Amino acid sequence: MSKNHEFYWRRLHSLLGIIPVGLFLVFHLSLNFTATGGEENYNNSIGIMELVPHWLLLIVEWVVIYIPILFHGLYGVFIAFTATSNIQRFGTFRNWMFMLQRISGVFLVIFIAWHIFQTRIQKALGADVDFNMMEEIVANPFMLAFYILGILAATFHLANGIWSFLVSWGITQSKSSQKVATYVTMIFFVLLSIIGVAAILAFV
């Protein structure tokens, strides 16, 4: 892969990680958070999606969700196994974040594939994706821990990805602006993690 092509592929990878994948994650966790209001509240919230025509929903899912996630995930794995980290040589905060970004990305490929299998594919096979389904899934302590870890990996990956996006796209160029971005994105990580974890625990 030429340097020029790699530059544009990485830009596309970075952009898709924010729009639409990042926006979808925020929407998805916010929708799941309605479970904290009880079973009926959650079922009514996700039931709104049933009002969308099936053919239109499929187009939106593939164009806005599946294809961007597939590209971002697969190219992200390529980056993870080809990028060089300086963690052993320097051990700086940003090198640690670089390493965690790659680890969380590889884990998320596995987690998202499993989550889609347990929900979307099961729905295609005739199962109801509702409060009871999620309740049964997280009734297994191992699956509950797996989902909590998946949520934390996703929220961290997005938050740190936003920081990287701001730098790589030239939005935060100075050290002071990058430091501010670090604080803002970490606060975002904590808040979104609280929403996500509270949502999954609501099914317990």
Point out the annotated binding site: 28, 72, 115, 157
Q: Which domains does the chain have, with CATH numbers?
A: 3-201 (1.20.1300.10)
Rounded-to-integer distance, Cα 44 and Cα 38, Å? 10
Rounded-to-integer distance, Cα 11 and Cα 4, Å? 11
Point out the annotated binding site for heme: 28, 72, 115, 157
200, exposed or middle or buried, with CB in 10 Å at 0-12, 13-18, 19+?
buried
For the segment 14-32, what is each residue's pLDDT rounded down to a tens digit? 999 999 999 999 999 999 9
Query: Does the predicted TM-score (pTM) go above 0.85?
Result: yes
What are the φ and ψ backbone dihedral angles of 86, each rounded to 5 degrees? -100, 20
For the segment 155-180, what is each residue's pLDDT rounded down to a tens digit? 999 999 999 999 999 999 998 999 99
